[in-house]
Structure 1
Amino acid sequence: MTNVEEFAHGFGEEPGYLDYGRVGPVSRAVRAELAGQYDILGKARFGTVERMHAEDARVRSAVSALTGFPDEQIAFQPNATSGLMHAAFGLTGGEILLSLAEFPSVTYAAVRAAQAMHVVTPTWLDTDGGPVTPAHIREQVTGSTSAVMVSLVDSRTGYLADIDGIRQVIGDRLLIVDAIQGFGVVDAPYEVADVVVSGGQKWTRAGWGTGFLALSERAIDHLTPVFSGWSGTGAATQTWDEVIEPAHGAKAFTVSNPDPIAQARLAAALEEVAAVGVAAISDAVSDRAERVIDLADEFAIPVSSSRNTAERAGIVVLEPRPEQLTALSASLFNHGVTASVRPTTVRVSVHAGTTEDTLEMLRAAFVSYASAV
């Protein structure tokens, strides 16, 4: 067990980085894992390449520790979108209730599944321009609704969804959660979901090419593994001269052997998170988000994301007047602050390793902005 301070030592990025919602620079532990794994692959000493495939069990165990899903109900994925596609294409009927404002990985999975399979229908949730809430879903769920898809944290607004509340209002319908904007920094009740997907390139800082799909028993019973390759069978070893049925489990939702080095990167990142605990990381992230909000208030920069700690994770959204957005983005750029500038907002993403130097750089940028406007 480590503490947050020791965890923060694993952040190697330069001061000024506030864009974890886009990509998290890989941690020192992940870089060390990557170097070690490539050294093994580069030398290919007798027996070592075969042993690299043990990373599959390792990464599934690491995901299990953070989600509560059993190892055998987890499949490694190259990204969150692949997991969402598996889930959406696997639905066998009814309507999928979701917001059109969700990140495109979610909406495209639902629509492409409907277009290709002709067995499900996306139904767009009306949120009156606000976040996805249990109340909105309660009002619009129908007897034809078979599944609900939602982001744990909205990528544009930073809103943290109440997935426990959503579960309570949808009953035994499938709940599909895209957790990528909160996984590793939000202490969420993942056990209430039927499908949890995430990528490792953001808050867990494992780099691109990493992700997972976790399925409840109900999801395994109700989803059809449409994209199931030779690696997704129930056979203990590779089979020749026959094509056998997919396994009854998460393994079925794979198409080929995974990249063991990518699995090792994700496992190393998640093991580091588990060592300190998601709750402790979440508290540290919340503290730094509060610091950013206080700075924005000090310089009269409007904050459009939620100020309620129960409704936010690591994202703070700034929304200056339209004619002042250019000045704010220029000031951030001139002071070496990395954030996501959108057409009407600036998204600032903090992490447990965000340093005082970085916050001071943000303050300096705000000083210049305030002077300019």
Structure 2
Amino acid sequence: MKTIDDLASGYSDEPGYFDFAKWGPISTAVAEEQRSLVEVQARARFGSEIALTEQSGRVGRAISSLVGFAPDHVVFQPNTSEGLTHTLFGLTGQVLMSPRDYPSMPVAATRSAEALRVLEPVWMDLDHDVVTPAVVQRHLTDAVTAVAVSLVDYRTGYLVDLEGIRQVIGDRLLIVDAIQGFGVVDAPYAVADVVASGGQKWVRAGWGTGFLALSDRALSALTPVFSGVAGSDLALGGWYHDRQPTLPGAAAFQVTNPDPIAQARLATALEDIAEVGVAAVSRAVAERASRVIDLADEFAVPVVSPRDVSERAGIVVLEPALDQMTTLTAALINHGVTATVRDTTVRLSVHVSTGDESFEMLRGAFTSFGTTVFY
């Protein structure tokens, strides 16, 4: 079994990278898997297609092992947004959600409401800008059929309490956009009905990778509106003017045949994580996030993201005084620190490969910042 150090040694990202919440540099194993299958695809030797077609089953098993849903209840998606679009266009009734979540979910909900007129988004008023069980409970009515949340808020780094939300919503559908926590949060996905995520961030499988996982309740409630050729139970060579039946299970929620090399990248990344264990990855990421918080405190850089380990994952958000934002941003750039800067905040995000050299670079940036700021 691999250790955290083994997993970390499989990444080759340069020191100073603190932007895994935006995208994660792919691992050496993922890059090698891609190269080998590109070679197969380029040469097209007799029988080589098998190496490509078998990736569908492989990635399904890999997703299943981390989410805990049966393989026939998960399906590969090219990104989180497509999985959420499948979900929200297939849903009927009122869906309760935050207007501050990453746009993938709110946009899909409003597009569905406008196009099909069978879904109605209900927007939460947030306490302290985060979604909690108490906030959800306050907005529940008999008309609400589903609740949609982000596992980790992309702006604040807040880790939602899935089990608490499940307790207050009863048997309503619980839809989870897991992109900002999947792979680094040991989340109780079993309480959810829909889990959608991509592999380009914390999983580090690159763009074009993701999945949709559906419970029995979700499969019964959702209509596969965008079920295309890959999601249909049809025989090629026939007539297609009649309605084509969809495949059973989550497989119905596909449009066309996926990229097998993208499937292989995601499978490779998930297999490596599974070998170490998400819980171990979560602990390592939490320790590194704590180091960022400690450094920020040392140099009096305000931290506005959660400090409690139970309420955060790999994201730390800084919010200096408005007139100090440019100075802090320049210090990070000058010391080679990659981060996400938005309006009044700086978002730093860590992974198991964030090592001592990266923290020394961050210390250097904070030192420069501190020497140019006068109180």
Q: What is the distance in 2 between the residues matched to 1:252 and 1:319? A: 44
Amino acid at match of 1:130: D
Q: What is the distance in 1 between the residues matched to 2:50 and 2:236? A: 14
**Equivalent residue of 2:354, what SS?**
coil
Q: What is the distance in 2 between the residues matched to 1:288 and 1:344? A: 23
In structure 2, the partner of 1:146 is: 145
Amino acid at match of 2:218: A
Q: What TM-score, normalized by structure 1, do the two folds share?
A: 0.98
Q: State the shift of 1:10 in Å.
A: 1.1
The answer to whether 1:337 aligns with 2:311 is: no
In structure 1, the partner of 2:169 is: 170
Q: State the shift of 1:238 in Å.
A: 4.0
Q: What is the distance in 2 between the residues matched to 1:199 and 1:207? A: 9
In structure 2, the partner of 1:3 is: 3
Q: What TM-score, normalized by structure 2, do the two folds share?
A: 0.97
In structure 2, the partner of 1:120 is: 119
In structure 1, the partner of 2:304 is: 304
Q: What is the distance in 2 between the residues matched to 1:357 and 1:313? A: 21
In structure 2, the partner of 1:262 is: 262
Higher mean displacement: 283-292 or 247-256: 247-256
Q: State the shift of 1:47 in Å.
A: 0.8
Q: How many residues get paired?
A: 371
The answer to whether 1:185 aligns with 2:184 is: yes
* Cα distance per residue 1:131-165 (max 9 Å; x no partner): 10001011111100011110000000000000111
Q: What is the distance in 2 between the residues matched to 1:355 and 1:51? A: 36
In structure 2, the partner of 1:363 is: 363
Q: What is the distance in 1 between the residues matched to 2:164 and 2:127? A: 19
- Contact preservation (8 Å) 2:315, 2:347: yes
Q: What is the distance in 2 between the residues matched to 1:300 and 1:334? A: 19
- Contact preservation (8 Å) 2:127, 2:135: no
In structure 1, the partner of 2:208 is: 209
- Contact preservation (8 Å) 2:157, 2:305: yes
* Cα distance per residue 1:18-43 (max 9 Å; x no partner): 00000001111100111111011111
In structure 2, the partner of 1:12 is: 12
- Contact preservation (8 Å) 2:9, 2:353: yes
Q: State the shift of 1:51 in Å.
A: 3.5
Q: State the shift of 1:248 in Å.
A: 3.0
**Equivalent residue of 1:161, what SS?**
coil
* Cα distance per residue 1:264-287 (max 9 Å; x no partner): 000000001001000000000000
The answer to whether 1:227 aligns with 2:205 is: no
Q: What is the distance in 2 between the residues matched to 1:155 and 1:191? A: 22
- Contact preservation (8 Å) 2:149, 2:177: yes
Matches within 5 A, 1:122-137: 122-137=121-136
Deviation beyond 2 Å, 4+ runs, structure 1: 237-240
Amino acid at match of 2:358: T
Q: What is the distance in 1 between the residues matched to 2:183 and 2:361? A: 26
Q: State the shift of 1:239 in Å.
A: 5.6
Q: What is the distance in 1 between the residues matched to 2:153 and 2:224? A: 27
Amino acid at match of 1:339: A
- Contact preservation (8 Å) 2:158, 2:305: yes
- Contact preservation (8 Å) 2:180, 2:201: yes
In structure 2, the partner of 1:349 is: 349
Q: What is the distance in 2 between the residues matched to 1:26 and 1:51? A: 21
Compute the RMSD of aligned alpha carbons: 0.9
Q: Relative to 1, partners in 2 of residues 1:196 and 1:175: Cα closer, same or farther, differing over 3 Å?
A: same
The answer to whether 1:30 aligns with 2:30 is: yes
Matches within 5 A, 1:44-55: 44-55=44-55
Matches within 5 A, 1:275-286: 275-286=275-286
* Cα distance per residue 1:254-307 (max 9 Å; x no partner): 011100000000000000100100000000000000000000000000000000
- Contact preservation (8 Å) 1:175, 1:194: yes
Amino acid at match of 1:232: G
**Equivalent residue of 2:316, what SS?**
strand
The answer to whether 1:65 aligns with 2:58 is: no
Q: What is the distance in 1 between the residues matched to 2:51 and 2:203? A: 25
5+ residue gaps, structure 2, are none
Identity %: 57
Amino acid at match of 1:31: A
Q: What is the distance in 2 between the residues matched to 1:238 and 1:33? A: 31
Q: What is the distance in 2 between the residues matched to 1:317 and 1:175? A: 27
**Equivalent residue of 1:271, what SS?**
helix
Q: What is the distance in 1 between the residues matched to 2:272 and 2:176? A: 23
